[in-house]
Amino acid sequence: MRVDYADLAARIAALAEGETDAVALMATLACEIHHADDRFDWTGFYRVVAPDLLKIGPYQGGHGCLTIPFARGVCGAAARERATQLVPDVEAFPGHIACASSTRSELVIPVFARGERLIGVLDIDSDQEDAFTQEDASALEAILATTFGDLD
């Protein structure tokens, strides 16, 4: 099953309407995104909890890494560079952290609240190589901006 991003965005908007708690929103999005597409093997958020440090937030799938410094891995790169990381082959990514040995490709998108304040990253792993497209990245960036962009 492939995700229908228009349907996913509408569903998330309806579920998130009026919610202002970032963790509640992350939990809702992790669940909705994870179950929207068979390519998504692990879907979750890492939250910014200290300067240059991410800690696991709400997720769907097997256990994730508990903490990730901005200096390490795909999630760290997304946070450090404040830019989406579309990685077709994690083995070729310098400094990749293998939280799950089944991960073959990864899409990580920074999450910003009001004023472009970085509050975390959305991490989606796949057990398939080259599983993600620029369309996936752009659609999910738009969903994240709509959901979190007005939070204080």
CB 76 within 8 A of CB 70: yes
For 5, the token pair is 């991003």
Q: Cα-atom radius of gyration of the chain, to the nearest Å?
A: 14
Closest to 139 measured CA to CA, from 2, 1, 10, 6: 6
Largest CA distance in the chain: 41
pLDDT for the residue numbered 58: 98
- Structure confidence at residue 96 (pLDDT): 82
Please give the torsion angle defined by the CA atoms of residues 99, 96, 37 and 47, in that order, rounded to the nearest 10 degrees. 70
What is the model's pLDDT at position 111?
A: 98
Taking residue 88's Cβ as centre, other Cβ atoms within 10 Å add up to 17
Give the mean pLDDT per block of 10 residues along the chain (152 residues). 96 97 98 97 97 98 94 97 97 84 94 98 97 98 97 94
Predicted confidence at residue 149, as pLDDT, reads: 96
pLDDT value of residue 11: 98
